[in-house]
Amino acid sequence: MTSLKMSQEDTNHFNECHEAFALREKALDTFTDWASTVFRDAVVSKIALDYVKDGNTGRKRLEALGVGSGSGEIDIMFLEQMVKKYSNIYFTSLELSSENTALFKSKVSRGTIENVTWDWKQLSWDNYRFYNVKSREPKLFHFICTVHSLIYIRDVDQAVMNMYESLDDGGVLLMIVASEESGSYKLRTKFPQLYIEDGLSHVSSAEVRKILKTHGIPHQILSQPSRVDITTVFQKGRKEGSQLVDHLSKRVNFLKTASPRMVNEFISYLKSPQCSEREQQSYLLVNDWDAFIVTK
């Protein structure tokens, strides 16, 4: 079996597998609804601050930060809601992938969001934080969001605490992570040997809840159900099924390269009620996520 850290060919393969999963996941539809309903009430309305002064113009502005923005669709949805309330937003995006940042920029250039100044930084959270705290005037934020990106950060405990410290009084930190009840998280727990080399952290709502509790940080958790149709995984010879398995196992061509015993155990567990629900002839992977809302 081959793990995720590898050649360009394998990287391309995983991008295709991720696309196949994303098509079935319909995550953007879910987020479109979530941003215009839950986010508006549970996040935007909670930001309680006096606008800070913008040194250049004398106008007041809201400082917002996206950590691991990807190609920006979801951060843009959040900002579309925020501009309804705030007329001057400075949005800093941290994203490691230059391809993703290029996509983000092109979406913004085609879009209609006004009153946002965009600042794209190709930096990891740790590096950004390091430079920010060392600067003469460390920046504090009124809104920080990190959507399905904490899993990419090695020391999640420290990252959560540093994000909290980076909030200004009255600011809101929004962290979205896979639910501990989600099938993809349970697969990682059940088959840890598959994921050792993929470089991702073992993070779900359980770990984030524990971190916040340990540090005595009050928070609200909003749970969002999500189901992904993975029926083709259980139909022999289906290309999409094989791609979905590779995406979930983080292994190239898992069905052909893993031992028959491992394939059998993995597929059986994926099909079981631990991970999936049955709906008539279909199997739906439980893919719920939780939003942690921390106000300061």
Q: Rule CB under 6 A: is residue 200 a binding residue for ligand SAM?
A: no
- Name the one range near ligand SAM by CB under 6 A: 48-56, 96-104, 114-122, 205-213: 96-104
User: Measuring CA to CA, which residue among 72, 68, 147 is closest to residue 110?
Assistant: 72
For 262, the 3-state DSSP assignment is helix
Q: How far is the CB of 159 from ligand SAM (least distance, A)?
A: 8
- Three-state SS for 23? helix
d(CA 108, CA 105): 5
Q: Does 179 interact with ligand SAM (rule: CB under 6 A)?
A: no
Q: List binders of ligand SAM among 111-130 (CB under 6 A).
A: 124-125
In the complex, least distance from residue 34 CB atom to ligand SAM, rounded to whole angstroms? 12
Provide, rounded to whole angstroms, the least separation between the CB of residue 148 and ligand SAM: 4
Cβ-proximal residues to 205 (8 Å cutoff; 6+ apart), any chain: 177, 178, 179, 180, 221, 223, 289, 290, 292
183 binds ligand SAM (CB under 6 A): no
DSSP 54: P
Among 40, 60, 139, 148, binds ligand SAM (CB under 6 A): 148
Q: Show contacts of 131-138: CB within 8 Å, 24+ apart.
A: 132/166
Strand order of the sheet with strand 276-279? 227-229, 282-286, 276-279
The secondary structure of the chain in percent helix, strand, coil, rounded to multiples of 5, reads 45, 20, 30
Residue 81 binds to ligand SAM (criterion: CB under 6 A):
no
C-beta of 67 vs 167, nearer to ligand SAM: 67
User: Can residue 177 be called a binding residue for ligand SAM (CB under 6 A)?
Assistant: no
How many residues make contact with ligand SAM (CB under 6 A)?
18
Q: Which stretch binds ligand SAM (CB under 6 A): 93-101, 107-115, 131-139, 193-201?
A: 93-101
- State whether residue 53 is helix, strand or coil: strand
Contact flag: residue 67 with ligand SAM (CB under 6 A) = yes
- Among 97, 144, 88, smallest CA distance to 117 is for 88
Task: Tell me which stretch binds ligand SAM (CB under 6 A): 61-69, 200-208, 214-222, 272-280.
Answer: 61-69
Tell the smallest beta-carbon distance from residue 59 to ligand SAM (Å). 29
First to last CA, the chain: 46
Is residue 164 a contact point for ligand SAM (CB under 6 A)?
no
Q: Which is nearer to ligand SAM, 150 or 255 (CB)?
A: 150
Q: Give strand pairing partners of 270.
A: none
Kindly state whether residue 104 participates in binding ligand SAM, applying the rule CB under 6 A: no
Of 34 and 125, which has the nearer Cβ to ligand SAM? 125
Phi, psi of 214 (to 5 degrees): -55, -40
Q: Where do contacts with ligand SAM occur on this chain (CB under 6 A)?
A: 67-70, 73-74, 94-97, 100, 124-125, 147-149, 152-153
